[in-house]
Chains A and B, each alone.
Chain A
């Protein structure tokens, strides 16, 4: 059911930008892209979502390609506390399908 593909893991140096890619080539016109993260078996935490325009909030930026088939989550200055599993989800109504996610390891 998950319609997204993400790399299983990525490393990032503390203080550098973390760029997490997501492929959603079968996305429909009315489906939004959401990003959540989960830190060590806590409940997932909402990060950001978007439809087709790039979005930015206090946590991250979301860049969606023009054809909407892929997106990138950017954490501008990663800290050790950003170490987590990041999930990219496509959704058009309140039924979220989480894939395997990307384990981001932020290293000092």
Chain B
């Protein structure tokens, strides 16, 4: 089975711009979660989508948004970029059903805001 893929792998943007990151989950997985990882704050949960609906949300400002398509692929968007948005953005897919299930992470997108 192919793993979770994320595109692009590296991105450089300027303050004030917006960016869209893409995540393709493992085939058959219906849940996609997004995380931000920075040296100062560690791994932080952004949101989770299941069957095209946002099911969980972390504590991030409205500049961070996402969506999921009918094929379970997901995108996240960050508008009005700030220097502090520089981070590794990870997505994880899972079956999303049942009480307990493991998440499988992609390699991440490294975003640098200048």
Contacts and interface: CB of A to CB of B under 8 A. Distances in A.
Interface of A: 1, 30, 32, 34, 38, 41-46, 49, 51, 87, 91-101
A34 B107 contact: no
Main secondary structure of the interface of B (DSSP, over half): strand
Interface residues of B, number: 29
A91 B31 CA distance: 16
A92 B99 CA distance: 7
A64 B72 CA distance: 34
A99 B42 contact: yes
Given A43-B105, A43-B108, A46-B102, A94 B31 contact: yes
B33 interface: yes
B88 to A, nearest CB: 6
B90 interface: yes
B43 A49 contact: no
Contacts of A87: 43
Contacts of A97: 45
A43 B56 contact: no
Contact of B33 (A30, A38, A49, A96): A96
Interface in B15-37: 31, 33, 35
Contacts of A45: 105
B75 interface: no
